[in-house]
Chains A and B, each alone.
Chain A
Amino acid sequence: MKPLISRIGAATLASAMSVSLLAACSSGDDGDGVTLRYFWWGSDARHAYTQEILERFEELHPDINVEPEFTSWDDYWNKLSTSAAAQDLPDVMQVVDPLMYPYIENGQLLDLNTVADAAHLERYSESTLSLSTVDDGVYAVPGGVSGFSVAIAPEAFAEAGVEIPDESTWDWDDYIETAAAISAANPDMAGSDIPMFSQVATVWLRQHGENWWSPDGSDLAFTPETLAGYWDWVIRLRDSGGTPSVETMVEAHGAGSSAAQSLLALHKVAMNPALATNQLGELEETSGGAAQLMIYPGESDAQVTGSFVKPGLFYAASAATEHPEEAAMLLDFLNSAEAIELQKFDRGVPVDPAVVEAVSGDLTETELAVADYNARVTALGPEPLPIPNANAGGAMDELYDRINIDVLFDRLTPEEAAQQFYDGLKAEL
């Protein structure tokens, strides 16, 4: 319960706001106000500050009541799909590619063009909306720009007496050599994780001028040969002695994908080739030491930039919401300076430069490092990521996971694996 004083204060504040806004709030309602349900996934820290954000929103809009619903990533999509089946989607929800596309394709999400004013769509550049724009409809707004990077522990490099490579010149062989040198110098630590997810392969394909998907997501846009080249590199990394054993990697991989559980956080490796940059804070908190974000190797030799930044998550509204205007207002508020003050960069770097500017005064070094990494990647001029195929996009992670492990255990050669992956994904289109 909010104290009475703040309710009165909020009410005064609200009445000072634009009349049209208030009229919108109460449209079609019996005067008791509007109740919105907002559903998100995340860590406990995110659950806590998001509820504070919602309280601020309610203070600004006393006639809107927001019911928080939250869970872990693992449970989120099951709950969302079953509530969609029961025609009981929350009014506002957190979504992400590629899992959001079936929802868009099946008309479950509101086209935000219909509430463009309340959602303040003009705040978002075309490029930040590209992944959530389908057939001219805008179905979600980005919650923050994130991406993946090579995260390293400078302390571990110093301990091993290995120089940190120059990110503007290093190539994929340098990566292997660096990893092997650290393993050789420090018996208690391996140089690098073996990449278990597809992000590093994404960078590799892009550096070769390819992508998983064609620009509109209707077809595949990579060749098995290029992918086989990537898995070949993975095998060379594995055999260099610069990584933990394959079994250690699979075990860690099965335990969860959060930064806090990563081998880098546990001081077992010095380099993590696929850290989600918005998890840098969590990583540093768990490991108790600073980490540094590096651009992927090979960029200086590549004709096309492989590294990328992209929205790490989006906010969407249900097509069936009874209160589209209010839902849009909440979407807008989640990306406001008032919200980001509490949230910082936990959902990525805010897409609105004015908001970043507004909170720049109290950013930590970690947050500045993330923003700086994004700026360095953007300076390389990466092409935007294509939209994943609505059907096959959801199959990719599971297929990649399985075939990647077959490669690591020598059950498939890189060539066989690449062909199987290509055929498997093609069959899902």
Chain B
Amino acid sequence: MTKTGRRMSAAARQEERAAWMLMAPWFLGVVAVTLGPLLASLYLSFTDYNLLSAPEWVGLENYAEMLRDTRLHKALAVTATYTFVSVPLMLAVALALAMLLNRGIKGLAFYRSVYYLPSLLGGSVAVGVLWRQVFGIEGLVNQFLGLFGIEGPGWIANPDTALISLILLHVWTFGSSMVIFLAGLRQIPEHLYEAAALDGASKREQFRHVTVPMLTPIIFFNMVLGIINSFQTFTQAFVVSGGTGGPSDSTLLYSLYLYSEAFGRLHMGYASAMAWLLVVIVGVLTAINFYFSKRWVFYSDGN
């Protein structure tokens, strides 16, 4: 990064102007579309607001209520389980497939697109409906298990297994992480592998001592994004559970509970406070991630 401020060359100044121009649409969008609701929700989080009459200032009451709300605690536990199980699994699958594709197979572009597809579709309502069928009592999964004489449960109907089907749906959307891994793998200089091979490193050692360290910035990036995204997951849980977070709150993801408080129970003030708690949680997790990243993320440019 340039820290010399005023002493920029003409070329650098021109580049900066271009940067501002290219970012302008985004800034315009933030100011015109996002900023208003953002500030409004911050204000509403300190009010008692039911959509039907004017908001009433209640100070920190909504935030105090969160400490007592056992359903909120349940939603947090469900979301944490969902995140900390599905994100590592998804990254592992994405990395494994990226390594496979990186071996230079024919038709790479085709496979890359095919594996990327679920990332585009996974958040859609249609796939949620499909998932209900696939994991139903007479669905594909149980038909497959039936071939081996196993009688599967009603995955989505049973509170003990419903979250598993949601986690699998999330893992299935590994495509975008995979594409980023693939790009990262391409960036690793071939001469590192050659040097390692000359030193007698096996493929496994090469993976451990060359690939993984060189990929750590990418793993870090994918992990941060994965955690943020999974804390915000809504559609899948909404469709798969029929909008209830059921059975028995077993799939009550945080944003689903927020939605039902806001629009089901008309507790819009409380829901706004919940939204800000989510911001804080995601922010803290990301900060923790960045803090620990110094210990394991390796940037080859020396920074």
Contact = CB atoms under 8 A, between A and B. Distances in A.
B249 A402 contact: yes
Q: Which of B52, B243, B263, B265 has the most CB of A within 10 A?
A: B52
Interface string B100-139: 0000000000000000000000000000000010001100
Contacts of B184: none
Q: Is the interface of A mostly helix, strand, loop or mixed?
A: helix
A198 to B, nearest CB: 14
B248 A406 contact: yes
A102 B247 CA distance: 27
Given A254-B246, A255-B242, A405-B247, A248 B154 contact: yes
A250 B50 contact: no
B157 A248 contact: yes
Q: Which of A81, A82, A394, A401 has the most CB of B within 10 A?
A: A81
B156 interface: yes
Interface string A104-130: 011110000000000000000000000
A256 B243 CA distance: 11
B52 A103 contact: yes
Interface in A385-407: 394-395, 398, 401-402, 405-406
Interface in B239-278: 241-244, 246-249, 260, 263-266, 268
Contacts of B132: 254-255
A20 interface: no
B265 A394 contact: yes
Interface in B128-164: 132, 136-137, 153-154, 156-159
Interface size class of A (residues with CB under 8 A): 20 to 34
A247 B153 contact: yes
A118 to B, nearest CB: 25
B303 interface: no
Contact of A108 (B52, B156, B264): B52
B266 A398 contact: no
Q: Is the interface of B mostly helix, strand, loop or mixed?
A: loop
Contact of B51 (A82, A107, A402): A82
Interface string A250-265: 1100111000000000
A107 B132 CA distance: 41
A16 B266 CA distance: 47
Interface size class of B (residues with CB under 8 A): 20 to 34
A85 interface: yes
Given A77-B263, A247-B153, A409 B158 contact: yes
B2 interface: no
A78 B264 CA distance: 7
B53 interface: yes
Nearest to A106: B52
A251 B246 contact: no
A246 B248 CA distance: 13
A247 B154 contact: yes
Contacts of B244: 254, 398, 401
A84 interface: yes
A251 B137 contact: yes
A411 interface: yes
Q: Which of A81, A247, A250, A251 has the most CB of B within 10 A?
A: A251
Contacts of B268: 85
Contacts of A406: 159, 248
A293 B265 CA distance: 33
Contact of A247 (B158, B243, B246): B158
Nearest to A78: B263
Given A102-B50, A106-B50, A254 B248 contact: no
Interface string A399-426: 0011001100101000000000000000
Q: Which of B159, B244, B247 has the most CB of A within 10 A?
A: B247
A247 B52 contact: no
A81 B52 contact: yes
15 contacts: A77-B263, A81-B266, A85-B52, A103-B52, A105-B52, A106-B53, A247-B157, A248-B137, A251-B154, A251-B157, A256-B242, A401-B244, A402-B248, A402-B249, A409-B247
In the A-B complex, the 7 residue pairs with the smallest Cβ-Cβ separation, listed nearest first, are A247-B154, A106-B52, A250-B157, A85-B51, A247-B157, A251-B157, A254-B242
Interface of B: 50-53, 132, 136-137, 153-154, 156-159, 241-244, 246-249, 260, 263-266, 268
